[in-house]
Amino acid sequence: MTNTVVIGSQWGDEGKAKITDILAGDSDFIIRYQGGCNAGHTVVANDITYKFHLVPSGILYDKKICMIGAGTVIYPDAFKAEIDELKSQGVNLSGLKIHPLASITMPYHIEIDGYQENTAKKGKIGTTKKGIGPTYTDKSARIGLKIQDLYNLETLSEKLDIILPIKNKMLAKVYGLEEYSKECVIELCKKYAEIFAPYVCFDWQKLLEEHKNNKILFEGAQGVMLDIDWGTYPFVTSSNPIGGGAAVGSGFGPKMIDEVIGVAKAYVTRVGEGPFVTELKDELGSKIQQIGHEFGVTTGRARRCGWFDAVTMKYAVQVGGVTKVALTKLDVFDSFDEIKVCTAYKNIKTGEITEYYPTDVFTHKDYEPVYETMQGWKQDITGIKDYNNLPENTKKYIARLEELIGAPVSIVSVGPDRLQTIFR
Ligand code: GDP
Ligand code: IMO
Ligand code: MG
């Protein structure tokens, strides 16, 4: 039995949800371990498109436990909107559980995120404005609220006496935003308690114990290059999408993890600000964007597109702990004559060539990609089910990527549908 973590190995939106959904079919317990409703996860199954933000992408199967883990942050209104939408699509949510130690995104976190993004003259991150950074900030500063706080009004009241004076001072003095009265926050919390009540799993210790010999699937959000410690800091999210984040945010220890599947697109996309060495700002970039429908699930923003960057991917394999790769969106190249792969970075000031990712992202403007050109396959691959039937040039492309990044590609995705997936 293999317990697997699914992570993004680029800057998010690699197709993690599609891979999680497929692997979930064969798992017992699916746990989302970090991030919040900044994530936008798409699964296409039986001709229906499902969009998830917080709910694990394994929820489409009956009789599985799908837990939103302790390492996540949850905005109650977003959660409510998501489950309402899923219910309207007929999704059975009986297996959905929320860990009582998950953090709550409060409306003031969203206001602060929006304020910071809208007023930044320099250093704009291009966040999703979902309050993610401010929620994790409060968690680390030990002035956050957890789901379990909603069910004990006495301790909630004591906590708010500590939290609100600090928050209100910041809201008013630093951001010029409205303060929150204690009565107002308690009313909000009562509403939140009702929203979460059917799902909060107070007996999670028993549940995890019972499942320790079952098959666990850990679902990451975002991607390694957005990791707060290992990504393109400060142009990152505020949690740990790397494979190791699964142990931190789930309550299952690191020894429970057997494989880490790093999901990667056959090219690279990025939403928001920050360096992107292989970005294509020309019509080729627009071509990838159009064919790949590269527009965000959560914010609708156009995703920046570029060639596959083996330098960052090799780094992501290393720090993300990736043991196998799921390569998605290969079909987007079906009409391309040539495909480029970035094999190294060249420093335009010194001429130095490196295959190792430079961690000071403010130096990335000094690097240009060193490309290798590969021949396209000029064939529709979206219906291919067997790896051996892929065109020779597709197989050559995959083999070259494997060589460059030092990890095997074990899953190949040739379309958004569950069925458009090839296992090796
Ligand atoms: P996630 O955040 O990593 O789960 O990815 P998103 O759902 O944000 O974005 C991936 C998009 O690509 C979704 O619209 C998927 O339906 C789609 N997709 C996934 N795999 C493939 C693939 O192999 N080919 C194509 N054409 N689309 C894919
Ligand atoms: P999934 O799980 C792509 C990006 C934002 C911004 C940075 C910080 O669908 O892959 P945040 O709101 O987290 O403080 O924003 O991170 N970002 C994502 N980009 N996919 C995501 O999630 C993302 N979640 C956050 O665009 O650059
Ligand atoms: Mg996404």
Span from the CA of 269 to the centroid of ligand 1 (angstroms): 11
Please list, residue by residue across 412-421, b when 16 or more beta carbons sit within 10 angstroms of its beta carbon and e when fewer do: bbbbbbbebb
CA distance 154 to 311: 52
Among 117, 232, 237, the mutation site with the greatest number of ligand 2 atoms within 8 A of its Cβ is 237
Ligand 1 binding pocket includes 40 (Cβ within 6 Å): yes
What's the pLDDT score for residue 1?
A: 79
- Cβ atoms of residues 43 and 50 within 8 Å: yes
Q: Are 177 and 31 in a shared domain? A: no
41 among known catalytic residues: yes
Span from the CA of 395 to the centroid of ligand 2 (angstroms): 31
Nearest ligand atom owner, CA of 293 = 1
Q: Are 359 and 343 in a shared domain? A: yes
Please list, residue by residue across 123-155, b when 16 or more beta carbons sit within 10 angstroms of its beta carbon and e when fewer do: eebebbbbbbbbbbebbeeeebbbbbbbeeeee
Nearest to 316 by CA among 413, 223, 240: 223
CATH of the domain at 396: 3.90.170.10
Ligand 2 binding pocket includes 222 (Cβ within 6 Å): yes
Q: Are 273 and 377 in a shared domain? A: yes
CATH of the domain at 256: 3.40.440.10
Q: Are 48 and 163 in a shared domain? A: no
Among 7, 21, 127, the mutation site with the greatest number of ligand 2 atoms within 8 A of its Cβ is 127
CATH of the domain at 177: 1.10.300.10
Q: Are 308 and 218 in a shared domain? A: no
Q: Are 189 and 325 in a shared domain? A: no
Q: Are 314 and 393 in a shared domain? A: yes
Each residue's pLDDT tens digit, 104-116: 999 999 999 999 9
Count of domains forming the chain: 3
The CA R_g of the chain, rounded to the nearest whole Å, is 22
Contacts of residue 308, defined as CB under 8 A and 6 or more positions apart, other chains included, come to 264, 265, 266, 267, 268, 278, 339, 340, 341, 342, 401
Q: Are 60 and 167 in a shared domain? A: no
47 among known catalytic residues: no
**End-of-domain residue from the set 196, 226, 251:** 196
CA distance 156 to 408: 49
Q: Are 270 and 406 in a shared domain? A: yes
Q: Quick one: tokens of 301?
A: 């923003």
What's the pLDDT score for residue 123?
A: 83
Residue with CA nearest ligand 1 atom 6: 13
Among 5, 10, 18, the mutation site with the greatest number of ligand 1 atoms within 8 A of its Cβ is 18
Each residue's pLDDT tens digit, 120-176: 888 899 999 999 999 999 999 999 999 999 999 999 999 999 999 999 999 999 999
Span from the CA of 366 to the centroid of ligand 1 (angstroms): 31
**End-of-domain residue from the set 181, 196, 211:** 196
Q: Given CA atoms 294, 15, 96, 146 in this order, what sign does their dihedral have?
A: negative
What's the pLDDT score for residue 203?
A: 98
Nearest to 118 by CA among 50, 71, 175: 175
Cross-strand bridge partners of residue 172: none
- Cis upstream peptide for 234 (omega within 30°): yes
Q: Are 276 and 362 in a shared domain? A: yes
Q: Quick one: tokens of 172?
A: 């008013």
Which DSSP string do the residues of 302-338 spell out, in sequence order? BPEEE-EEHHHHHHHHHHHT-SEEEEE-GGGGTT-SE
Ligand 2 binding pocket includes 398 (Cβ within 6 Å): no
Ligand 1 binding pocket includes 16 (Cβ within 6 Å): yes
Span from the CA of 155 to the centroid of ligand 3 (angstroms): 36
- Listed residues: CB within 5 A of ion ligand 3: 13, 40, 297
Angle between the N-to-C axes of helices 107-119 and 132-140, in degrees from 0 to 180, rounded to the nearest 10? 120
Q: Which residue numbers in the chain have pLDDT < 70?
A: none
- Catalytic position from the list 41, 53, 99, 109: 41
| Alpha carbon distances (Å) from 406 to 197, 315, 328 | 46, 10, 17
Whole domain around residue 211: which residue ranges? 4-102+199-261
CA distance 210 to 193: 27
**End-of-domain residue from the set 178, 196, 214:** 196
Span from the CA of 38 to the centroid of ligand 2 (angstroms): 6
Q: Are 274 and 407 in a shared domain? A: yes
Nearest ligand atom owner, CA of 116 = 2
- Cβ atoms of residues 225 and 312 within 8 Å: yes
Span from the CA of 12 to the centroid of ligand 1 (angstroms): 10
Nearest ligand atom owner, CA of 414 = 1
Q: Are 224 and 191 in a shared domain? A: no
Contacts of residue 13, defined as CB under 8 A and 6 or more positions apart, other chains included, come to 40, 223, 265, 269, 271, 294, 296, 297, 303
